[in-house]
Chains A and B, each alone.
Chain A
Amino acid sequence: MTQQEIPMGTLEVKKGGERAKSGKKINLRLVVQIFFFALIALIAVNHALEEQGRAIGFLSSASLHAVCPFGGIVSIYQYVTAGTYVHKIRESAFILMYIVFALALFVGPAFCGWVCPLGSFQEWLGKLGRKISPKKFNKFIPARTDRYLRYLRYGVLIWVVYVTATSATLFFADYDPYYALFNFWTGEVAISGLIILGMVILTSLFLERPFCKYACPYGAILGVFNLFRIFKIKRNISTCIDCKACDHTCPMNIEVSTGKTIRDHQCISCLKCTSEDACPLEDTVVMTTGKL
């Protein structure tokens, strides 16, 4: 059996015959994802409690619009032209927008891969989908079609920014599955938001992160940072055995094994493809600034 034919899951090959990974490691990314998911869920509940005068004191009771960095982006036009924010958007959303931009400049869209609760939610549903159809999961859409569909989210971004700028209202809240996910129980969510959330839940059982790939306007903006981010995912072609473990594990279906530096606009900096995780060889797929 050649190295290229080694099946997934049984790969033990390492540079010099050694295995880099040993023992059970804590999935730090999962811990961070759960933390942010729980934090946002608690803030959403606390916001509702505050309106009843029963808020938990030590926890923020801000509305979700105030702690969503995408709110800053949709409000930019109004802020520049009139000096005001779109209704329901606060300074905090603007500040978070700057913070996430700075983060993306360094390490790419880590917000998507590590923080975004809707991304995490889809990922967790995907684990269930992977059990339902282990072979077909995340491969339902032909690669060629999929490649073009990935640009849909830029259309969504333009639509959201344009309509928000011209209407001066946070109209996307009526379609936003993130808002629907954390507010479905409040009665404040539009039926369109609930329908889209339902579609995201359903498609997450067949595809990894479907909303992130095809529709997320925020992911579209952060994805651009992949072109010039400081720390990039790089593949050492001199040590790579072309086992494609990196390709198979990438939630965004990026073909990591075909390039030296990953600049794909869909990368979410989850680090699943790296030598710390899927890649069986040490220092072969890494996030770095320097040359390999």
Chain B
Amino acid sequence: MKVKNWHMGLIVLVFIFGGIAVTMAFNLWNTEGGGSGQGSGSNMVPVTFKVGEFAGEYNPADIRGSYSFGNISELWEIPLTEMGTAFGLGAVENLADFRCGDLHEAYANLEEDVEIGTGSVKAFVALYTGLPYTLPDDEYLPQSAVEILKAQANLTEDQVTFLDTHSVDISGLRIVEPNITEEHETSTEIVIKGNTTFGNLLDWGVPEEEIEVIIGEELPATGMTIRDFAIQKGLDFGHIKALLQAKVDALGAK
């Protein structure tokens, strides 16, 4: 059998789009965040170590921006207050709902090249629990987190050196508390974002039936974000968001 140009064109398209279609049918295709773990909201299930002495333990490397401090506290058994103190968020009202991804916004006032984000939380959790993790060169930990780790964790010399060279004094820093749930209401234009929940949609007046038509099933827990729902169901978040945004916009036009 000879492969001609038109055969090749067909083969390429069938392999790529056919392969994608098959994996979508089996709910395996995922281009969005949410990681290789499963679940969302309070049901986050990170992947576990598969081999070695930590086999079966949750892997801190799987912590994503969508993980809340409450999830992490529960999964890795770190007291929530300790996490709040470590990251200078003791004054945050709903600390359990504070997401790792919000750290970038909270620490927006840091000097250039210094970043406290999801990687910092991974490092903190790994060092606190003694689980293996490759410490990131480009992310830093607040000095308060370093002090907790030095007091509570069994650290190696290398880890202490890392902490000494990757700590930031946040005592004089004004931490910007991200407005997670109320930003839509205060905005003149309501925009669906990654942290918008189904509850927000209902609050804005989108009828439950119309949401169910778009998502193709019964309304999930109102506290669940649309993004998490899309990831869990293997759906295109951008597509669902656009359809729901059209409903929100239509309400505004009335």
25 CB-based A-B contacts, threshold 8 Å: A28-B9, A29-B8, A32-B9, A57-B241, A59-B238, A62-B32, A63-B31, A78-B61, A82-B61, A83-B49, A83-B62, A84-B36, A87-B119, A90-B30, A95-B29, A110-B11, A115-B12, A115-B16, A166-B134, A167-B137, A168-B136, A169-B138, A271-B4, A286-B2, A287-B8
Bound Cα distance A231, B7 (Å): 12
- Interface pair B36/A83, CB less than 8 Å apart: yes
In angstroms, Cα B191 to Cα A50, docked, is 11
A106 & B12 in contact (Cβ 8 Å cutoff): no
Cβ of A236 to closest chain B Cβ, rounded Å: 12
**Interchain CB contact under 8 A, B9 and A31:** yes
Q: Are B6 and A92 in contact (CB under 8 A)?
A: no
Cα–Cα distance between A271 and B20 once the two chains are bound (Å) = 25
- Residues in B whose Cβ lies below 8 Å from that of A61: 236-238
What A residues does B119 contact at CB under 8 A? 87
Total interface residues on B, CB under 8 Å, equals: 49
Tally of chain A residues near chain B (CB < 8 A): 57
Beta-carbon contact of B192 and A91 below 8 Å? no
**B5 engages A29 (CB within 8 Å):** yes
Q: Which residues of A contact B (CB under 8 A)?
A: 28-29, 31-32, 46, 50, 53, 55-63, 66-67, 78-79, 81-85, 87, 90-92, 95-96, 98-100, 102-103, 106-107, 110-111, 114-115, 166-169, 231, 269, 271, 276-277, 283, 286-290
**Is the Cβ of A90 less than 8 Å from the Cβ of B32?**
yes
The reply to whether B11 and A106 form a contact with Cβ atoms under 8 Å apart is yes
Closest B residue to A95 using CB positions: B23
Q: Is the CB of B47 within 8 A of A84?
A: yes
- Contact check, A98 vs B136: say whether CB atoms are below 8 A apart: no
Known: A91-B28, A168-B61. A103 touches B239 (CB 8 A): no
Nearest-Cβ distance from residue B89 to partner chain A, whole angstroms: 23
Interchain CB contact under 8 A, B238 and A102: no
Contacts of A92 in B (CB 8 A): 20, 29-31
Q: Which B residues are CB-close (under 8 A) to A46?
A: 238
- Nearest-neighbour CB distance to chain B for A37, whole angstroms, equals 14
- Which positions 181-212 of chain B face chain A at CB distance < 8 Å? 191-193
